[in-house]
Each structure stands twice: as structure tokens, then as C-alpha cells.
Amino acid sequence: MDGGTGFGVMLRAFRQHAGRSQSALARHVGVDASYINRLESGEREPPRRALIEALAAALELRPEDRDRLLVAAGQLPGALARLGPRDATLRAVAEVLSDDALLEDERREFRRVVEAIAARWRQGRRHDERGAA
């Protein structure tokens, strides 16, 4: 049980922000309202991924908020789940970041470079999409 912290607190905050009642959310995803109540209070463990994604969709969460909810439930964020453990690039990055011989400054620099490349790639894709429209 999460004692009303983590997943449950986050679910409640997202639900309240969306202006949905526990009953309305429960109906939307096909569960009993008491189950939503127990999730939010931490009396129940977080549900499986499919229900978390249904909750996120019902609450119209942005992808980054859906990922926060998934992580709070002990699940992988969407992109990592889609790539899976066989993705060679993801494994290579994880191996570098988890290398105990790497100094913290080196780890920070590696993260900075990877994040800069990813940001530039995303920015270029958005520019290409606008030009094609």
C-alpha cells in the first residue's frame, strides 16, 4: 500500500484538476467509484498499465503527465515501454549512465550532450512538420 502518497496523491490531483468526480472517472474507465477512492487513499496498490493509461486518457493528461503517473505506479514511461529492453541505443546510454567508474561530472556532461541532441532533433522535426503543412 502506498499510504496515500505517490500514485494515489497524484491521481487525485490530476482528477481534481480535470474537474472530474471519482464516480465520473470510475464510470469512464469501467470500474467502481470505491476502487478509485481506494487508489487515491493508498488503500490499493496502483493498477496495471492498461488501467493507468485509461485513467490518463479519461483525464486528458498530457503525455508527460501520463508518464509521471505511470512512473509513480512503478511502470516505465511510455517511450521506454515502447522501445523495450532490446533497443541497442537505449541500452548503450543506460550502460554509460550506470557505469560506476564514471565520475559524476562526466555523467552530467554525458546527460547534457544526449539531452541537447534530443532537443535539437525534436526541434528539427517540429520545424519540418510546420514546413510540410
Considering the entire predicted model, what is its pTM?
Answer: 0.76
- Residue 126: the pLDDT is 65
Kindly tell me the sign of the dihedral angle through the C-alpha atoms of 84, 86, 87, 88: positive
- Residue 85: the pLDDT is 83
- Residue 128: the pLDDT is 58
- Residue 124: the pLDDT is 81
Q: Percent of the chain at pLDDT above 90?
A: 83
- Residue 84: the pLDDT is 87
Residue stretches of the chain with pLDDT short of 70: 1-5, 126-133
- Residue 29: the pLDDT is 98
Q: Specify whether the CB–CB gap between 66 and 58 falls below 8 A.
A: no
- Residue 132: the pLDDT is 53
